[in-house]
Structure 1
């Protein structure tokens, strides 16, 4: 690689990662009325990215093998910013949400380069762990059947799932499993990225299923619970799971379904972590008393949640504690109805500290 291409690669990587961090900043703090202010706070990181991408077509040396993935990731980020800018101009909040959906597509395109570009490797770790050289070195030679993969048809297909297994997986130890359920309009392919940094950093396997229907089975026949059990068994047959650390979590409709399915007497999950979820006290009243007794549940909710007001979470915590569950509650004053990715690591630390016997 000549000096020019090396310099351009460094510039492009920096611009791309910076723009991705800006998208994450907006997504984490998005409350639709605040979007103009958020856009003002991040400035225009897409301008530097657009200029750096323009030079990709001139690459001729070894860096050319990186071009397709950098271009795909960069183009997704630019599309995301275009939608966000249009949302500010038109007042159409749906365009903002469409724009933010480009971020996980960019992450998916970029992730394979973590194995060859140290800045990308560090980017996919939690910020507090990016200085850990030993951890970074563990990704150099991936074990077989590790990394990001998909099962059950095309990525994001109904009833299928996306999976992350840490590249340093070894069968000589057991590994916690997180089954993370997307929100009502999402899919497992994109929701996986809410957990990837934490899973890489702390050593956990993450499965992100896609609902059988348009959203999780919150009414009518429940086809999702048997599918979740099937997915868990499929993963357990191939990788060595910790039977005392099987977490069911989810966002919004996914969080609500983690209550509905996870409180079933036959649920195989040892821990629950609903985020921004709806809850009715009847869920606790109707749940099996033995299932609820000492069940670890980590509830996360935003004080600014405009879809499911925070009083709903406070009610859930009271009802679950009264029923005998072991409840941790994190109320976030600056969170609206979105997923706080920094909580993934905190939930994993909570899970690590509270192993319990597998149900049944």
Structure 2
């Protein structure tokens, strides 16, 4: 690699990674009444990124792929901050903030291919406590196993019913691996939701599957086209990889969490554990569920005390109803969590599932 290109990469990567990390902070702590305070706490890491962005121009042709990854990630990050600052300045309403934060997974997707080449990028896609794990770093340093990494199956943007999945690059078929199937929220898609879990799957050793709903959101009412599709997707992944049949987790955020209940409480559900996040639940679901399925079923509920869409009282009632029905309920209520995704809960959920595969 030419010295000039190396200098440009060294200049761009730190502010880019910091900008993305801060967008994750904003997303995690997003709460409409506290939006201005969260933005003030986030600071302005995008200013440094904007200052070095011109260095990604006029590179030699042999570095086009690297240039494209850094340009796409940088531009998505800057677009996210532009949208957020428009809301902060009163030029846009809060719906723009939600749209702006959708740029974060786009930036992460563009950047991830560089994890195999640049240690700082690889560290960005690990849990912080794993960045000094020499055994893990050694596994990630060797060439990736065949058919591993991120794979999209009919899951292009704006498509429906497909799925994305991630297999740790150090996967070996000589042992069974836990599987996490994570369902996006009502306005999302599986391709974007993959990034809510990728760090933990990569750090701890789990196969991650993120489907996209068949319809505009999951089949919470009316005809259910999603359950059969999830089973199809699960069967497809299980046919290719050695999956632990005792560690099949179905989780999801908001509508995805609610659908985890809807399909996961069915008598024939293949999933061994459920972990709904920021979900709603009607007591009739427990009454309609198969009593034998509920008895002893491990369910891990995560909810924010500040949730403005599904008030926390709903989650407390759900805990009590499912416990009374015989489920083995773990309940986590997070004081500073609104209706947003708490990625810090992924590792505890994997531990509750029975650990990863490292």
CA distance in 2, matches of 1:153, 1:190: 10
Cα distance per residue 1:240-286 (max 9 Å; x no partner): 10000001100000000000100000100000000000011111122
Q: Secondary structure at the match of 2:354?
A: helix
- Count of aligned pairs between the two proteins: 354
- 2:14 is equivalent to residue 9 of structure 1: no
From 167, 170, 173, give the equivalent of 1:171: 173
Q: Stretches of 4+ moved more than 4 A in 1?
A: 61-65
Once the two structures are overlaid, the 10-residue window that deviates more, 4-13 or 26-35, is 4-13
Alignment check: 8 A CA contact 1:177 1:246 kept: yes
CA distance in 2, matches of 1:149, 1:68: 19
Q: Which residue of structure 2 aligns with residue 358 of structure 1?
A: none
Q: Which residue of structure 2 aligns with residue 103 of structure 1?
A: 104
Deviation of 1:287 (Å): 1.1
Cα distance per residue 1:33-57 (max 9 Å; x no partner): 2111111112111111111111111
Once the two structures are overlaid, the 10-residue window that deviates more, 39-48 or 188-197, is 39-48
Q: Secondary structure at the match of 2:309?
A: coil
Structure 2, unaligned runs of 5 or more = none
Once the two structures are overlaid, the 10-residue window that deviates more, 321-330 or 135-144, is 135-144
- 2:27 is equivalent to residue 27 of structure 1: yes
Alignment check: 8 A CA contact 1:162 1:208 kept: yes
Once the two structures are overlaid, the 10-residue window that deviates more, 19-28 or 81-90, is 81-90
CA distance in 2, matches of 1:95, 1:69: 25
Deviation of 1:11 (Å): 2.0
Q: Which residue of structure 2 aligns with residue 349 of structure 1?
A: 351
From 291, 294, 297, give the equivalent of 2:293: 291
CA distance in 2, matches of 1:185, 1:194: 15
Q: Which residue of structure 1 aligns with residue 320 of structure 2?
A: 318
Deviation of 1:346 (Å): 1.3
Q: Secondary structure at the match of 2:338?
A: coil
Q: Which residue of structure 1 aligns with residue 307 of structure 2?
A: 305
- 2:263 is equivalent to residue 261 of structure 1: yes
Q: Secondary structure at the match of 2:302?
A: strand
Q: Which residue of structure 2 aligns with residue 235 of structure 1?
A: 237
Alignment check: 8 A CA contact 1:156 1:210 kept: no
Q: Which residue of structure 2 aligns with residue 148 of structure 1?
A: 150
Cα distance per residue 1:89-137 (max 9 Å; x no partner): 2251101001100000000000000000000001100011111132122
Once the two structures are overlaid, the 10-residue window that deviates more, 176-185 or 134-143, is 134-143
Q: Which residue of structure 1 aligns with residue 186 of structure 2?
A: 184
CA distance in 2, matches of 1:85, 1:336: 20
Once the two structures are overlaid, the 10-residue window that deviates more, 90-99 or 317-326, is 90-99
CA distance in 1, matches of 2:260, 2:5: 48
TM-score by length of 2: 0.96
Structure 1, unaligned runs of 5 or more = 355-360
The alignment yields a C-alpha RMSD, in angstroms, of: 1.5
Matches within 5 A, 1:120-131: 120-131=121-132
Deviation of 1:296 (Å): 0.3
Alignment check: 8 A CA contact 2:155 2:164 kept: no
CA distance in 2, matches of 1:153, 1:328: 33
CA distance in 1, matches of 2:332, 2:289: 23
Alignment check: 8 A CA contact 2:156 2:191 kept: no
